Amino acid sequence: MAVESGDYIFLLFIFLFSTLIFFIFSSKKKPARSPPSPLALPILGHFHLLSSALPKSLEALARRYGPLMQISIGSSRFLVASDTSTAQQILRDHDVEFASKFAFGPSHHNIFKGAEFVNAPYGTYWKFMKRLCMTKLFAGPQLNRFSHIREDETMKLLRSLWKCHQLGEPCDLSTKLTVLTNNMQCRMAMSKRCSRSDDQAHEIREIISNMMACGGRLSFAEVHGPLKHIDLFGNGKRLRTALRRFDVLIEQIIKEYEDDRGESEEEDVMDILLETYRDPNAEIRLTRDQIKHFFLDLLIAGVDTTSASMQWAIIELLKHPHTLRKLREEIDTAVGSTRLVNESDVPNLPYLQAVVKETLRLHNPGPMLRRKCNSDCEINGYDIKAGTNILVNAYAIMHDPGTWEDPDEFVPERFMAGDRDDHHMELKGQDFHFLPFGSGRRACIGAAHATIVMHTTIGGLIQCFDLKGAEKVDIKLATGYSGAMANPLVCYPIGRLNPTILHVK
């Protein structure tokens, strides 16, 4: 049958119409837009551009490549956010999409595989454990219930310094502050054991210290680069050995709790976890490894960071005698010389609060906030795919000269009431210029406890002692991800109050 000319016209019309529709929809489907990235080397990626002080290295790169850039270390890739606006999008506007964390550090050496709480994906288990922490450990009423533990351990610290004063001996304040925070955490979580046995608390402290040392020695290249699965210097093996020691010790403590079941009226966190472990109808059936890793996370996160922050505060105060005198005058005026500063005094000590805030801004112990994208989204006009790892560089944000005048200087006055708005910034991370404990769902759950400890401990040390010699300490940063000091803080404490306040002769 012959084809009419009208059929040709109709077919041509269909072809042209289909082509037009194709191009319309194709133009709407934009190609993926990726953040800028420095030139990478084969295999190594951007390792050659990074120093041992990772937050500072990334801050320098961000000045050139922008507030959201892509960095690769071997086969591992990250997006790095370095300004307030980008952080706000990630931590507030897209909080649910970024509510998971990626494992950052020597996690492949962890013997408790899949039992982590801090690094657990955002989901039922993580929500349950966070709710437990907030209701049974770090909520206001629970914090008040543990005030006698904090007071007791602070008194022990001050008495130990008084003994050094009497003997004229140097004091390793770094170790003593770590002992303080370790004992507080142990007694709050496992009061029945750690308050009865100094040996167990000491062993826990020693194991955690070994783990932190091994983790710090595992270089960024070993952890995230092409050498990730090669234990080049044996630090991974030593870390696994420390973890096994912790496993044996915590198993012993758990068995002691099980043997003492029902003998004590006072319930602590270990009791609550074991109750959930035994309950067949519990919302979450905890495993033994999950209980063990919870305490591991609690001790690592709460001990090292709080201790490091207090060390930096003391160093800065000794480097700035005028600031030290101003703080001491405030404490002497508000508290006097006949009793120790306590938690109820803190609201009446605004300069002490400013010193703590400025310490956390200048020497933040968690300068890199880890997030993992759970679903596709858009940040700064760039397409972020699900599964992307994000680092929010809180160090860069809290050292931004556009926000902070003289950002590398220790100036507590910036947090006092005045002409600027800085003093309104709170510790909860609601102002994205100031992120000492992160923000959003994955913000630090122990922030309230940490700040209480910092205020009363720093206040007690400054009230009771002149600390001599510490200004000579080499204050370089330790290698790794945290903002800890590389060298111990050693000083000679000189008592300045009547020793009867500390109940010593």
CA atoms within 13 A on the CB side of 46: 20
Which residue stretches of 81-138 are H helix? 84-88, 124-136
Question: Pairing state of beta strands 389-393 and 368-372?
Answer: antiparallel
Query: CA–CA separation, 107 vs 122, rounded Å?
Result: 18
Both tokens of residue 240?
A: 């696994």
Of 503, 469, 497, residue with least CA distance to 156:
503
The answer to whether the annotation marks 373 as part of a ligand binding site is: no
Angle between helices 350-362 and 305-319 (to 10 degrees): 110
- Written as one string, the DSSP assignment of 326-349 is HHHHHHHHHT-SSS---GGGGGG-
Buried b (16+ CB within 10 A) or exposed e, 243-277: bebbbeebeebbebbeeeeeeeeeebbbbebbebb
From the centroid of its chain, how far is CA 199? 28
Token code pair at residue 400 = 């931004």
Which parts are annotated binding residues for heme? 444
Which parts are annotated binding residues? 444
